[in-house]
Amino acid sequence: MVQCGVAWFDFDESSGNVTDKLGLNNYIGTVTGATRVEGWNGQGYSASFSNNSFILFNNKLPVAEKTIRFKMKSSKTGSYQTIMSTCATGSTNSNGHYISIQPDGILNWIHYKASLTTNFVISSKSDVLDGKWHDILFTWTGDTSISGVKLYVDGVLESTSISTVNEVLDYSNICFGRYNLTGSQYWLSYTGQLDDFQIYNKVLSPSDFTQKRLVVKTTDNKTLALSPTLNRVKEIPNTTEKLLFDQGYKVKEIDEAVDYPVIDTTRNTTEYEIVSNNSISLGSGKVFTIPINDFKTIFIEDNY
């Protein structure tokens, strides 16, 4: 997110406007009718839509290469539902993206290139209207690359597609919960919950969001791991020490690494669990050193 994130909406405000937790591009969403309910993982809040409620932002999606990831939960209503739209009207200039769900639960990502002329449609194979949370990931190279458009549901690649044109069109601002129509018209509105909406300016895959345990092997093929205590990690405290690292110096740590059985690197866990009994982030954007022996350390920047 630090490297290629554009915006991240976690809807954790208790009420009022939705803001970008990254704070990079000043995204602000004005809430009309939508409410806050429990978040997708039982923590914080998610946005709940019903009765033609929506959230309209003051900003657009990035043009060209992009990834859109979000969590959604809804049930069948007998009609189409709109999760997100950047299409303004049904008239000439209606360029943009449209994420919708069919009455049978099939998820669609549609890109219109002009006057509602379809550039591409990519659809899920899964029924997402089952009253459960689903992790949705869309990616597009922004051009006409082979299989340049992809859709993942719950980490599984379900569909690929090819765009017929490069993305150079001007869209309306992002709207959650309904088709972004002008005036007082509402149609195809969303009835369900939305959470953890992330926008990136780079094509990513589910593996980019999976963090593994850190394993370091010595020359005698022993695996070195860190004991699960917080004091195994040292945050670089000042500019002077960071300057030493940048110049190639190693700072000696008091603690020594210990031999452990080989770690299963296929586990879906984070590097923080090497040094702590919990999975709480050590601190976004901070720099840490991990001791290997009396004179060697690993230099890690936390970008989570």
Residue type, 7: A
Q: Is the pLDDT of residue 86 over 70?
A: yes
Beta bridge partners of 159: 151
Q: Is the pLDDT of residue 45 over 90?
A: yes
Q: How far apart are CA 69 and CA 202, in angstroms?
A: 12
pLDDT of residue 202: 93
Relative to beta strand 18-19, strand 216-217 is: unpaired
- CA–CA distance from 140 to each of 130, 207, 233 (Å)? 27, 16, 38
Q: Is the pLDDT of residue 259 over 50?
A: no
Q: How far apart are CA 81 and CA 27, in angstroms?
A: 24
pLDDT of residue 36: 96
Spacing of C-alpha 4 from chain mean position: 11
Q: How far apart are CA 61 and CA 77, in angstroms?
A: 28
Over residues 161-198, the pLDDT tens digits come to: 999 888 877 788 999 998 766 554 456 889 999 999 99
Q: State the average pLDDT over residues 245-252.
A: 53
Q: How far apart are CA 157 and CA 247, in angstroms?
A: 43
Global pTM reads: 0.70
CA-based nearest residue to 173, from 83, 85, 68 = 85
Location of structure tokens 């000696």 = 252
Query: Residue 11: which pLDDT band, with cuts at 50, 70 and 90?
Result: very high
- Burial (CB count within 10 angstroms: exposed 0-12, middle 13-18, buried 19+), residue 179: buried
By mean pLDDT, which of 105-114, 125-134, 152-161, 262-271 is the weakest?
262-271
With H, G, I as helix, E, B as strand and everything else as coil, classify residue 274: helix
Q: Which tokens sit at 289?
A: 């050193």
Q: How far apart are CA 144 and CA 135, in angstroms?
A: 26
Q: How far apart are CA 39 and CA 45, in angstroms?
A: 4
Q: What fold characterizes domain 5-204?
A: Jelly Rolls (2.60.120)
| Domain edges within the chain | 5-204, 216-301
Count of positions (residues) in the chain: 304
By mean pLDDT, which of 13-27, 166-180, 197-211, 271-285 is the weakest?
271-285
pLDDT of residue 99: 94
Q: Is the dihedral of CA 166, 172, 176, 177 positive or negative?
A: negative
Residue type, 179: Y
By mean pLDDT, which of 96-110, 205-219, 234-248, 265-279 is the weakest?
265-279
With H, G, I as helix, E, B as strand and everything else as coil, classify residue 238: coil
pLDDT of residue 169: 76
Over residues 191-237, the pLDDT tens digits come to: 999 999 999 999 999 878 764 444 444 444 444 444 333 333 333 33
Beta bridge partners of 5: 200
Beta bridge partners of 288: 235, 300
With H, G, I as helix, E, B as strand and everything else as coil, classify residue 245: helix
Q: Is the pLDDT of residue 290 over 60?
A: no
Check if the beta carbon of residue 119 is closer than 8 Å to that of residue 111: yes
Q: State the average pLDDT over residues 125-142.
A: 96
Which value, in Å, is the radius of gyration of the alpha carbons in the chain?
23
Task: Give the DSSP H or E segment for 96.
Answer: strand 96-101
Query: Residue 7: which pLDDT band, with cuts at 50, 70 and 90?
Result: very high
Check if the beta carbon of residue 34 is closer than 8 Å to that of residue 84: no
